[in-house]
Amino acid sequence: MNELKSKKFLILLALFTPIFYNYFFRLIPRETRNLSLDNPDFINIGLGVLFFIFLFFIGNQIRISLNLSSLSISIVLYFFSFFIFDNYFLFITRFFNIKFSFLFVNLAWILIFFINKKSNIYQVAAVFSFMYLFREFGFELLYNNFDLSPKTYTVPDETEVWLPVTKNIFANNYFYGLETITHNGYGLLIAYINSISSVIFLKSSSFIFFPFIKNVFYFLTLLFIYEIKGSDLSKLVFSISLTIVTLNSHWFRYIFFNSMMLESGVSYFFGVIMYSLMDVSNKREKYICSLLLGFLFFSKQFIAGLAILYLIYLYIKKELDIFALSLGLTSILIAALNAITLKVDMTWRNYLSFFDSSWTDERSYNLDNFQNIINQFLIDKPVSYLLFVLILLYSLNLKKNYSYFRDFSNLIFFNTFLVFILYIFIWTDVEYGSSYRYLMNIFHLLIPIYIYSIDNFLGDNKKI
C-alpha cells in the first residue's frame, strides 16, 4: 500500500470511527444481554442461518441449472417462482391450499435440477429430506420449548394489514388473501413470501410469525455484498459498518430485519434484480430479470411504480427487446385478468382512487412536511451518519461515480423526490413516520454505489 493510499485508508477509518465508537463505548455498557444458549433471539438467529444455508444451496442449484450470474438473483427467482406460479394459474390454485403451490413449484425445481446433469440430485434429495425432517420434528421441538414468536408488534400496519392477510394466505391460499384483505388493492408479494417461507418450517395450519424468517435477509444482504464486483477491502468495510449500524439502530434493525412488513425483502429484491440487470451475462438471464422486476408491481408502493417505469425506460433505451418488456408487463396484465375474471380487486386500484379524491381537498399542500420528513429520518442517527459518509465519498468522485451508476443514482433521487411530493401535496394530513420506510426501500440499491465510491476514494477501483 503506497503512502497516498495509506493516508486515504486512515481517512476512511476516521470517517467510520463514530459508528464504532457510538456502539462499543456508548451503547454496549448500557445494555444487559441474555447470553445463554436458550435465549430466543439467539435461537432465531440460528434458525435464520439454517434458512440461509437452505436458500444458498437451492440458489446454487438454480444458478448452475439456468446459467445465471449470481447466487443472489437465483435466490430471488426461487422466492418469486411460487408467487409467479400462483398469479399465472390463480384460476386453478384458488381451489387448493397454499401448500399445493409450495409442493408443486418445489417439485418443478427438483425436476429441473434432475434434468440438468451438473446438479447433484443426491445432494438435492438429501437437503430437501433434511428440511422436511427438521420441519416435522426439530422445529416443532424448538417451538414447543422456546418463545420464538413476538407477542406484540411495533408498527400498526403489521397488526392491521400484514398479519391478517398473511394468516389468510397461509391457512388457505393466495386467492383467499386477495378476497379478504382489508386494504383492498394492496400488492401481496410480501405477505405471500412471508407465508411461503413459513411453510418451509411450520407444519401447523395456523400462521405464526417468526423473526428468523426476516433475519435471513441480513445474511442474504451480506451475500449480495460479497457478489458485488469491487475490492475485498471496500466490501469488508461496508459489511462491518452495516453490521454495527444494524446492532446500534433499534428502528433500522426492526424495520429491516424483524418486521412483518419485510422492508428488507422489498429493498433486497429490488437491489438484486437491478444490479443483475446491470451485470446480466446472457439473454436468458435478461428475460428472467425482466420478469422478476415486473412482478415487483405486487410489492410496495414506490418500488412497484419504479420497477414498471424502469422496465419501460430500458425498452426505450433499447437495452431490452419487446419480449423482455412483455414478460415484465405480464404482471400488470395478469393482475387485470384476475381482477376481471375472478372478481378480486385490481392491485393498486385503491391508490388511484385515493389520489383522485385527495386533489379535491381544500388544503392542497403542507410545506411543513418537508422539514418533518427530514427530522423523522435524522432521528435514526447511526443510519443517517452511514448515509452521510456515502454522500461524502460519492461527492469526492462525483463525475465518475454518477457516470457509472447513473440509472441507480437517478432512481434514488426520484424515489426521494416522490416521497417528499407525496407528503407535501397529497398525504398532507397523513402521519409522516412511514416516510422513513419509503425512503429506505431503495437501501440495497445504495450498496453497489457505496462499494464503488469507497474503491474510487482509495484509488483501488477494479473494472466492474
Query: Is residue 373 pLDDT above 80, yes or no?
Result: yes
Contacts with 242 (C-beta within 8 Å, 6 or more apart), sequence order: 221, 225, 386
Domain residue spans of the chain: 40-458
Residue 32 pLDDT: 54
Residue 381 pLDDT: 87
Question: What is the Cα gyration radius of the chain?
Answer: 22
Per-residue pLDDT tens for 253-264? 887 887 787 788
Q: How far apart are CA 248 and CA 51, in angstroms?
A: 24
Cα angle 256, 423, 242; round to 5: 25
Residue 5 pLDDT: 73
Per-residue pLDDT tens for 47-101? 999 999 999 999 999 999 999 999 999 999 999 999 999 999 999 999 999 999 9
Q: How far apart are CA 218 and CA 268, in angstroms?
A: 10
Mean pLDDT of 1-26: 76
Per-residue pLDDT tens for 339-371? 999 998 887 776 555 555 444 555 578 888 889
Per-residue pLDDT tens for 186-198? 889 999 999 999 9
Q: How far apart are CA 385 and CA 249, in angstroms?
A: 11
Cα dist from 330 to 252, 273, 348, whole Å: 34, 17, 16
Comparing 154-158, 324-328, 438-442, the range with the smallest average pLDDT is 154-158
Residue 463 pLDDT: 47
Which pLDDT band, with edges at 50, 70 and 90, does 390 fall under?
A: very high
Mean pLDDT of 109-136: 91
Query: Is residue 462 pLDDT above 60, yes or no?
Result: no
